[in-house]
Structure 1
Amino acid sequence: MTDFQNNSDVAICGAGPAGMALAALLAKRGVPAARITLVDAKSLAQASKDPRSIALSYGSRQILEEIGAWPMPVAATAIHQIHVSRRGQFGRSLIDRDEHNLPALGYVTRYGDLVTALGAVCERAGIATLRPARVEALDELADSVVLTVTDTASGAAKSLSASIVVQAEGGLFNDQESRSQRRDYRQTAIIAQVRSSRPIAHRAFERFTEQGPLALLPQGDEYSLVWCVRPEFAAVLQALDDKAFLAALGAAFGERVGRFTHASPRLAFPLGLNADPRATARTVAIGNAAQTLHPVAGQGLNLGLRDVTVLARLLAQGATPAMLAQFTALRRQDRSTTVRLTDTMARVFANDSPAQALLGLSLAAIDMAGPARGVLAELMMYGRR
């Protein structure tokens, strides 16, 4: 074991988008960069190569603008409209940016591009970053938390001390320890980039099928596909060649964007809810580390960035247990509302239950009622405020 260091007000375990956004906001709001420590198992170069696509709400863009990470080096594709429908049933809803006097409802970008932009902000701010490094243990004391950290390149270990520790490393649902709210949806998300013969610029689609939601998010001249299906069908889809996969996708989605013509290599991830809003006196979790959600409605990262803004404001006033208690209280409503919303949608509208028959009528009613559509859009863009 190397020397013991007491050099942080806030140590952040996980330098993904939520972790780096928190570090950058803390520095912007007056916490000395030397008193902030980021720890992550991957190098920034490794994280920057992550090809996954992510959806950012308009509210998240505002947060990133405050941080200084917007616009990103690689342009994000704006979402002007969101088309929500149920396969094989009457009824749909169309949410449009013009109804809200906004430049966009949201944006689609690569995870790696967002990490690159945030990494540059943290580097300019002079925030201490330990990567690649792994947190082996946390020992919470009365006045601090001691972290045992191992450099994964050299194997050297050392102890760090921080007034507050923030868990920001979530991981995948099937790799996580169970939290107080846990539900296995028995669904797998198939992820790919696809092209079609008649794309509709800046329009995103959320289409509910008997197996789960199918989302197409505009990204450049392609779509980012998130297709949620039962695990056994996911295995079938993964075994298909590209031509057969595109045909299956067309059968599930329909012809609103023409014929699907190309697909990138596919990835598959199990889906579930795993959430726990609790914190200890000196540790707290944010983002995916606090609440792993079903991707329906695309709220995971956006909810995490809302966590970041509140926590940064409070910790800038003092890295104390009292501030963590305030954070837990202030974030309770938005977190619980978003968890309930995504959990309900995943359970009710992702199978052949009798409630599915009501979905078409519900979508038609929402589309006809401007206030209802506005409430749904506000929730997706800004959360519960």
Structure 2
Amino acid sequence: MDFDLIIVGAGPVGLAVARGLAQRSATRALSVALIDQHGATPIDDPRTLALSHGSRMLLEPLGWPAATTPIKGIHVSQRGHFGRTWIDCRAYDLPALGYAVSYGALMRALAERIENAASLHRFTRTTAHAPIQETERVTLPIETEDGPRRLRARLLIHAAGSASAIASVKGARSKGRDYPQSALLGFVRVETPRAYWAWERFTAEGPLALLPISRVQPADYAFVWCGDPNDTQRRMACGADAARAELRAIFGGRMGCVISIDRRAVYPLRLQRVEPRVQGRIVVIGNAAQTLHPVAGQGLNLGVRDACALVDALSNEGATPQALACFARRRRLDRKITVTLTDGLARTFSDGRAERFAPVYGAALTMLECLPPIKGALARHMIFGQRR
């Protein structure tokens, strides 16, 4: 079975590439094989994503869910110490800094747009093995419900996770580190929320972020609570009343009582980058290329920018190795800045330095508030990244 492109991975980034190519190649659609290890799009997945306004601008033509909660402001502070800054969308003439989006709703919006694409062949419940790169083609052995097959294409796009990406690119290596943290994810209801505002609170053991996911009072928030793995497991296992009390003690009383906490889950945290991300006819993008700490919520936003830049390169250069090389050049700066910034924040508040250097961090937050040009440059990178 021959195709122009094979996309391994049917998550948000893989679907965005498939949809973008179908949309941009109306006159001569590129034939695409989409490899999905799952049987159906996970539209009921309740995980909450933080997508910037820049990502919304990129995704809206491809598929944007109707039910999202705008984040019009972000309050950043550190627990028990001075220093804080407010980032307000009105300072940048934007309707919102970003949006809290259900993972399942985003997947549904993207999947609906590619259902009837004549140029797309979707393989579900399919496992991809290591590809074989040849002079003119890439051969991908796959395992389907009907048995093994071999697909051939001019290019292969890997968007399915960094572990399998390393096996896909000959000579690729993983760079990164494990953080001395894990993340507790869940949902809380608070008594007196501030409408459309998100909160990033740095503590001695890691950041705590709350994202608004409803517009009524009392309101629901999704939270990402990073901390020592032992403490995270304890918070996962303890009763709801104990978890609510500890969250209230760490976050403070800015939004009144924590009424409820539920749907808790634990995730390990690490930084991982795959290098090189392009080799000949194979490219690695999105979470397959870099797995980031959730502080500042930049992982998927970086992946969305990857997807749209790759669609641009393929639309301009065709399904050629030159298109992949062009993509890699365009994305180098944005990737480097975003990975460095995210890793720096994570390490600052994860290895015991937070308490020792709290006055320095407080001064830095205060300086951001007093120097709008620096604050604006940081905010614009978080919203739009570096695009060329």
Q: What's the TM-score bracket when you normalise by the shorter of the two chains?
A: over 0.9
8 Å Cα contact 2:74/2:88 also seen in 1: yes
8 Å Cα contact 2:81/2:358 also seen in 1: no
Letter in 2 for 1:36: V
Q: Give me the whole-angstrom Cα distance separating, in 1, the residues matched to 2:13 and 2:29.
A: 17
Give the 3-state SS of the residue equivalent to 1:384 in structure 2: coil
Letter in 2 for 1:110: S
Cα offsets for 1:337-384 (capped at 9, x unmatched) = 000000000001234313333111111110121111111110100112
Q: Tell me what 2:373 maps to.
A: 371
The answer on 1:35 being equivalent to 2:31 is yes
Shift of 1:179: 4.1
Q: Tell me what 1:94 maps to.
A: 86
Q: Tell me what 1:159 maps to.
A: 150
The answer on 1:78 being equivalent to 2:70 is yes
- What TM-score do the two structures reach when normalised by structure 2? 0.92
8 Å Cα contact 1:80/1:96 also seen in 2: yes
| Change over 3 Å in CA distance of 1:363–1:159 after alignment to 2 | same
Cα offsets for 1:172-224 (capped at 9, x unmatched) = x8998894321100210100011111111100000000010000000013101
Q: Tell me what 1:302 maps to.
A: 301
Letter in 1 for 2:386: R
Task: Select which of 273, 280, 288 maps to 1:275.
Answer: 273
Task: Select which of 258, 261, 274 maps to 2:259.
Answer: 261
Q: Give me the whole-angstrom Cα distance separating, in 2, the residues matched to 1:189 and 1:57.
A: 21
Shift of 1:232: 0.9
| Change over 3 Å in CA distance of 1:179–1:258 after alignment to 2 | farther
Instruction: Output aligned runs, 1:86-235, within 5 Å.
Output: 86-126=78-118, 127-151=120-144, 154-170=145-161, 179-220=173-214, 221-235=219-233
Shift of 1:43: 2.4
Give the 3-state SS of the residue equivalent to 2:250 in structure 1: helix
Shift of 1:304: 0.3
8 Å Cα contact 2:166/2:274 also seen in 1: no
Instruction: Output aligned runs, 1:333-352, within 5 Å.
Output: 333-352=333-352
Give the 3-state SS of the residue equivalent to 2:255 in structure 1: coil
Letter in 1 for 2:136: D
Letter in 1 for 2:289: A
Shift of 1:276: 2.2
Letter in 1 for 2:348: V
Seq. identity, %: 42
Give the 3-state SS of the residue equivalent to 1:41 in structure 2: coil
Shift of 1:85: 0.4
What is the total number of aligned residue pairs between the two structures? 373
Q: Give me the whole-angstrom Cα distance separating, in 2, the residues matched to 1:164 and 1:224.
A: 38
The answer on 1:56 being equivalent to 2:56 is no
- What TM-score do the two structures reach when normalised by structure 1? 0.93
Q: Tell me what 2:321 maps to.
A: 321
| Change over 3 Å in CA distance of 1:170–1:209 after alignment to 2 | same
Give the 3-state SS of the residue equivalent to 2:61 in structure 1: helix
Q: Give me the whole-angstrom Cα distance separating, in 1, the residues matched to 2:85 and 2:159.
A: 35
8 Å Cα contact 1:277/1:332 also seen in 2: no
Q: Give me the whole-angstrom Cα distance separating, in 1, the residues matched to 2:175 and 2:45.
A: 29
8 Å Cα contact 2:158/2:165 also seen in 1: no
Q: Tell me what 2:5 maps to.
A: 10
RMSD, aligned α-carbons: 1.8
Give the 3-state SS of the residue equivalent to 1:233 in structure 2: helix
Cα offsets for 1:106-158 (capped at 9, x unmatched) = 0011101100000001113332211121102311111111111112xx25111
Give the 3-state SS of the residue equivalent to 1:23 in structure 2: helix
Give the 3-state SS of the residue equivalent to 1:102 in structure 2: coil
Q: Give me the whole-angstrom Cα distance separating, in 1, the residues matched to 2:229 and 2:166.
A: 19
Mark the runs of 5 or more structure 1 residues left unpaired by the alignment. Answer: none
Cα offsets for 1:244-269 (capped at 9, x unmatched) = 00101111111111111111221000
Moved over 2 A (4+): 31-34, 124-127, 173-180, 349-352, 354-357
8 Å Cα contact 1:56/1:108 also seen in 2: yes
Q: Give me the whole-angstrom Cα distance separating, in 1, the residues matched to 2:195 and 2:38.
A: 35
Give the 3-state SS of the residue equivalent to 1:118 in structure 2: helix
Q: Tell me what 1:330 maps to.
A: 330
Letter in 1 for 2:375: R
Letter in 1 for 2:110: L
| Change over 3 Å in CA distance of 1:55–1:139 after alignment to 2 | same
